[in-house]
Amino acid sequence: MGLLSITPRLDPQMATALKLAAELAAETKAAHGLGDVATTDLLNQRILYNADRKFWNRNAPEMASSTDITLDTANGSIAMRLDRPKSAKTISPVLIYLHGGGWIVGNLDTHARIMRVLAELSGWCVLGVDYHLAPEAKFPVPQQDCLAAAQWVIDHGAKHGLDANAIALAGDSAGGNMSMATLLALRSQGQHHRVKAALLYYGSYGLRDSASRRLWGGTEDGLSPEDLAFFRTCLLNTPDEMKDPRFDILANPLNDLPPLYILEVTMDPLADDSTALLHAVQEAGGTAEYRRVDGVLHGFLHMSGHVDAAMTALREGAAFLRTHSQ
């Protein structure tokens, strides 16, 4: 665990949610005959992750339609899911959502509630992207998949009732990193004028050490130094790729970007990544709305049905989208 204890600092609702998560993990292990599961045991980590997220995804808002789409990319086909809320316009702005999970876990189902809540509260369609996971797919395959999804919206979105000139990007954790990587890739192609906003929830943006990485992180959030190192080992081909600007977002010039919503969790080893991104964007003349959330842990966004702070974060993100829809 980190140098500081989370126990006296936890919001009561978050503390209750952690107890529920521990009980669920024990039930899942018993059902599958598992003992302690090492971070490096990817097969069983994915079983635990999927079961946990299935629980938190209950009672997701009902959509007018949810359409599964297969996208052929240079790396093979990937799945996407287009959620259209009941309040969506005939030609709707679209939020491209890139899920978190350290590049090694997660899919369209694990983040279904997050995407549907954002869709319902904003009135925007939400396109989830099931990019290839590491270590089966190494860097920069996930980043290329996400850019291909954005290009699909630009090229084919109109056929699905999407406004290719009113796009936003969003993601949590690793998805925040790839949202920025996708935005910067679109900027290099001269397409960034289509992106009206980005929602960045507790992302990783390139810091390799920081105060927050020393103070926080452990078994409760799965972000110990060993966990973070394992995620990088799974994704990257060589340690030098940590400096690649498609991974190290802070290595890029951060000018000429749309407004950003940046959310930082105080008790999170990645907290300083968000602070650094905020300052870098502001120094480059950009606009960012910044939120710092106390009493919760990395990944709390999944718990919006149980933790009020999570619903508040989604509500604020949706309001940010509505503000920047034009």
State how far the Cα of 181 lies from the Cα of 245, in Å rounded to an integer. 8
Let me know: does 263 contact 201? Beta carbons within 8 Å.
yes
- Catalytic sites, residue numbers: 173, 268, 298
In tens, the pLDDT along 236-263 reads: 999 999 999 999 999 999 999 999 999 9
Mean pLDDT, residues 198-226: 96
Report the run of H or E that residue 290 belongs to, with start and end: strand 288-293
Partners of residue 292 on adjacent β-strands: 264
Placement of tokens 């606009």 in the chain: 287
Find the mean pLDDT for residues 206-232: 96
pLDDT digits (tens, 9 = 90+) for 53-98: 999 999 999 999 999 999 999 999 999 999 999 999 999 999 999 9
Work out the pLDDT band at 168, boundaries 50, 70, 90. Answer: very high
Q: What is the pTM of this model?
A: 0.98
Domains and CATH numbers, the chain: 7-323 (3.40.50.1820)
| Strand segments (E) across 28-173 | 65-73, 76-84, 92-98, 125-130, 162-172
- Report whether 79 contacts 108 (CB < 8 A): yes
Strand ranges, E, within 122-267: 125-130, 162-172, 195-201, 260-265
> Of 119, 109, 112, 108, nearest to 86 (Cα)?
119
